[in-house]
Amino acid sequence: MSFAGHYAYAITIFLMVAGLYIVIARGNLIKKLVGLGIFQTSVYLLYVAPGKLIGGTAPILAPGYAVYSNPLPHVLILTAIVVGVATLALGLAIVVRIREAYDTIEEDEILAADRAEDARPQA
Amino acid sequence: MTTEHLPVLQVVVPLMSAPLIVLVRRHGAAWAIATVVSWAAFAMAVGIAIEVAQSGPLSYAIGSWPPPWGIEYRADALTAFVLVLVSFVGAVAMPYAKVSIAAELPEEQEYLFYAMYCLCLTGLLGITITGDVFNLFVFMEISSLSSYVLIALGRRRRALQAAYQYLVMGTIGATFYVIGVGLLYLMTGTLNMADMAVRLGEVTEVRPLIAALAFITVGVGLKLALFPLHQWLPDAYTFAPSVVTAFLAATATKVAVYVLIRFYFTVFGATPLMSEVPVNEVLMVLSVIAIVSMSLVALFQDDLKRMLAYSSVAQIGYIMLGLSLANPSGLTAAVAHLFNHGITKGALFLLVGILALRCGTTRLSDLSGIASRMPLTAFGVVLAGLSLIGVPGTAGFITKWYLVRASLEQGSWWLAVVVVASSLIAVGYVWRFVEAAYLGAPGPDTPRAGEAPLWMMVPAGLLVVACLYFGIETSFNVGYVTEAVASLMRKGGG
């Protein structure tokens, strides 16, 4: 259980926590999405790293090769990457619309605008 | 035989209709395709339910790759029950959308709404029917991404902010779920639910399993708006287009609860994990807080849509309470409430959508005396409201009855008190509508609007009638559920 043997997990957890922190702590909508991206990416590592064996090859039967890496996690993560790209694209599209509607992408300014709208008597 | 392929057609037909709608583009044709497809999906769900009742669980190997290597679609009684709920609400909402969406969206954008709607339906049905945990994640994201778009279609700019909040929270939830699945995959080497359940029994190292259970519970908890992870829900439901609110309130959170039930009973059921880790105790405390606090918050809302949204969080509390009691009556209450609350809240949001369309407002203070202008709509809200409270003779009563019975069986009489007391709070917020609509005098500000077109009245009326019908004729929402629960409990070995 040495640290060196588990450094992939350490990096995964660091990225995971850092990403989540950015999502929570930042008020800028774009920065939040960046944090979300880092958070999602850390999970790719969680899947892919244990699937790779040092010296392992693709699981194709051939003379001279006995150690194979598991290809399934890579395939799963390929799907997850597509999902991540779609999420980021949609998130950015919504931010563009928010920028058009509110003229800002700072969360506190948007909330202030919403509160001002609530305080105004109904038009 | 086509019945053999029903499980995959259930998902593929709505999936394929989405690009078709985008190609067609004309709004009338788009509506027609979406309507036909959603009713076809309902027919297929009923077909699956009948097939399951007659000959037991269905299993379908995608691409003929046998499970556990290939992706398996698996339908048992619980799956069929949720499929019927989702596709029923999906089908009923479509005729309503014709007028409602035409009023809320520019004509050239309508086809995009119908495409997204079909994708959302695909995702929800897919989550329900798949027997593969990673496939479930993909469907979860299909339904979530399309529902972010559907919510962002709301007319006010705050819909955008609500959609963004939901996107961030929903993505965190889905990612937590993937982390949990990743840990389970590392420990078992399989993604098939049934296979995973068997292999989990052989795993001796429990710490990663506890972490996986925690990640999945929190991740899915975000999707189902489990208190205190519900912050996205009130804004999303308030600012989304009416038909979207009705559809999502009746289906999306319910499907997430279904995922949790699947994991707790089918995947983790055979392991001693559920009794060693205090999951049920935590869920019970959270659901009691949700029921009481969210009912109280609902009581003080002026906006009818927001009031119903908070009431939804409280109602999800009832479902989770039944689940956390973990005895047959409690689980029956939880599963039956998926359906009962689904149709009740669907009916209410459709009716509130009618008020929003005809009056241009959903604030109680502006709806004073509305019952004299729109008697049928107001009466419908009252009837569905009775089901929300749980008055005998309505669908809501069935759940409350089983919930109280389950609490007493467990020896927790105070839970029964919570259930009854919170129903009284529900009387309070339904009464606020009655007070405004019936007792308030129509002032000069009261909209002069009459009843809505039949396209909207008939679907809403159908759901209201369903609330009453399923309160009396309970062979589907209790009889079928009892069977589903019995098979879940058997699999769980306890």
Please state the φ and ψ torsions of residue B192, each to the nearest 5 degrees: -75, 130
Please judge whether A23 and B167 are an interchain contact, meaning their C-beta atoms are less than 8 angstroms apart.
no
Please judge whether B168 and A23 are an interchain contact, meaning their C-beta atoms are less than 8 angstroms apart.
yes
Contacts of residue B168 in chain A, CB cutoff 8 Å? 23, 32-33, 36, 91
CB atoms < 10 A from the CB of B360, how many? Answer: 10
Most A-contacting residue of B130, B156, B160, B231 (CB-CB within 10 A), to test interface: B160
Report in angstroms the alpha-carbon separations of B94 from B21, B86, B89, B462. 14, 13, 9, 13
Please judge whether B161 and A80 are an interchain contact, meaning their C-beta atoms are less than 8 angstroms apart.
no
Most A-contacting residue of B112, B132, B172 (CB-CB within 10 A), to test interface: B172
Q: Which two tokens stand for residue B243?
A: 């038909």
> How confident is the model over B402-420, as pLDDT tens digits?
889 888 888 888 888 988 8
Question: CB under 8 Å to B18, separation ≥6 — which residues?
Answer: B115, B116, B118, B119, B122
Contacts of residue A94 in chain B, CB cutoff 8 Å? 148, 152, 160, 163-164, 167
| Among B115, B164, B150, B363, residue whose Cα is nearest residue A101 | B164
Establish how many alpha carbons lie within 13 A of residue B395's alpha carbon, considering only the half-sphere containing its beta carbon: 29
Please judge whether B175 and A39 are an interchain contact, meaning their C-beta atoms are less than 8 angstroms apart.
yes
pTM for this model (two decimals): 0.93
- pLDDT of B392: 87
Angle between helices B328-359 and B395-409 (to 10 degrees): 150
Q: Is residue B157 within 8 angstroms of chain A, CB to CB?
A: yes
Q: Which two tokens stand for residue A71?
A: 């290809």
Pick from A87, A97, A117: CB nearest B160 = A97
- pLDDT of B278: 86
Please judge whether B172 and A23 are an interchain contact, meaning their C-beta atoms are less than 8 angstroms apart.
yes
Contacts of residue A36 in chain B, CB cutoff 8 Å? 168, 171-172
Instruction: Please give the domain boundaries of chain A with CATH numbers for all domains.
Output: 4-119 (1.10.287.3510)
Please state the φ and ψ torsions of residue A122, each to the nearest 5 degrees: -55, 130
Average pLDDT over residues B360-386: 86
Report in angstroms the alpha-carbon separations of B72 from A40, A119, B12, B492. 26, 53, 14, 20
- pLDDT of B412: 83
Contacts of residue B178 in chain A, CB cutoff 8 Å? 43, 80
Search chain B and give the residue with CA nearest A96: B160
CB B149 within 8 A of CB B254: no
Angle between helices B158-188 and B207-223 (to 10 degrees): 160
| Among A11, A54, A16, residue whose Cα is nearest residue A35 | A16
| Among B212, B225, B223, residue whose Cα is nearest residue B263 | B212
SS3 A4: helix
Dihedral sign computed on CA atoms, order B165, B124, B20, B171: positive
d(C-alpha B63, C-alpha B65), whole Å: 5
In this prediction, residue B446 has a pLDDT band, given cuts at 50, 70 and 90, of low
- pLDDT of A95: 95
Residue ranges of chain A whose CB lies within 8 Å of a chain B CB: 16, 20, 23, 29, 32-33, 36, 39-40, 43, 46-47, 50, 73, 76, 79-80, 83, 86-87, 90-91, 94-95, 97-98, 101-102, 110, 114, 117, 122
Is residue B103 classed exposed, middle or buried when 0-12, 13-18 and 19+ CB atoms within 10 A define those classes? middle
In this prediction, residue B484 has a pLDDT band, given cuts at 50, 70 and 90, of confident
Confidence check: pLDDT of B472 > 70: yes
| Among A79, A117, A108, residue whose Cα is nearest residue B134 | A79
Average confidence score pLDDT of chain B: 89
Average pLDDT over residues B62-87: 89
Confidence check: pLDDT of A123 > 50: no
Confidence check: pLDDT of B313 > 70: yes
